[in-house]
């Protein structure tokens, strides 16, 4: 087994990793990067958590169950756990608040996160929801304050109708 030493500028540590682990980490990073726009260095990633926001796997499961369809467009989503890149219908974590907290250890909790399809997630990017709703993407799909999932309305402090 070939072992390489991997260090990251600015982090002040380096780790020894088998090459095979490094390759698999690297391909996992590539799979997520297009959707999640993460800029974390490789190596702070494999913490045994399900994702880089440190959402524990039981919470992740509950979040996924709450959103069988995209919280924004209502489209069907797939997990694609082993696929590289970000298919438009991939289910992705979406932080409602652009200002964080983004990590569990910083106080992120599961009601701050919804699941959105890769297409909506990348279209919204870092926009305010109210600005995003004005875009052609949303207008052409009828995505607006009234159409989004109850959790998003709650975040926007809109009245949630009981259905
Ligand atoms: Zn969507």
Q: What is the pLDDT of residue 82?
A: 84
Distance CA 126, CA 26 (A): 25
Q: What is the pLDDT of residue 51?
A: 73
Report the range out of 19-28, 40-49, 76-85, 140-149 with the highest average pLDDT: 140-149
Ligand 1 geometric centre to CA of 123 (Å): 9
Summarised one tens digit per residue, pLDDT across range 121-149 is 999 998 999 999 999 999 999 999 999 99
* Confidence check: pLDDT of 69 > 90: yes
With CA atoms as reference, report the closest residue to 11 among 44, 33, 35, 51. 44
Ligand 1 geometric centre to CA of 14 (Å): 39
Higher model confidence: residue 42 or residue 109?
109
Ligand 1 geometric centre to CA of 31 (Å): 19
Ligand 1 geometric centre to CA of 136 (Å): 14
Q: What is the pLDDT of residue 158?
A: 74
Ligand 1 geometric centre to CA of 11 (Å): 36
Q: What is the pLDDT of residue 20?
A: 59
Ligand 1 geometric centre to CA of 90 (Å): 9
Q: What is the pLDDT of residue 2?
A: 60
Give yes or no for a contact between 131 and 139, defined as CB atoms under 8 angstroms apart: no
Report pTM: 0.67
Distances in Å between the Cα of 47 and the Cα atoms of 34, 71, 117 are: 21, 28, 25
Ligand 1 geometric centre to CA of 128 (Å): 16
Please give the mean pLDDT across all residues of the chain: 79
């Amino acid at each position: 087994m070939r072992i390489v030493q991997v260090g990251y500028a600015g982090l002040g540590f380096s780790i020894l990793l088998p090459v095979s682990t490094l390759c698999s980490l690297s391909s996992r990073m590539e799979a997520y990067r297009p959707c999640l726009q993460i800029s974390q260095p490789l190596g702070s990633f494999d913490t045994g958590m399900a994702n880089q926001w440190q959402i524990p796997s039981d919470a992740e499961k509950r979040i996924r169950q709450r959103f069988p369809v995209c919280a924004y467009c209502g489209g069907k989503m797939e997990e694609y756990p082993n696929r590289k890149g970000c298919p438009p219908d991939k289910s992705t974590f979406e932080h409602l608040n652009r200002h964080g907290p983004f990590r569990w250890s910083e106080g992120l909790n599961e009601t701050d996160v919804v699941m959105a399809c890769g297409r909506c997630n990348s279209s919204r990017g870092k926009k305010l929801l109210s600005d995003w709703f004005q875009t052609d993407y949303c207008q052409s799909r009828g995505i607006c304050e009234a159409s989004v999932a109850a959790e998003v309305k709650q975040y926007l402090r809109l009245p949630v109708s009981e259905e």
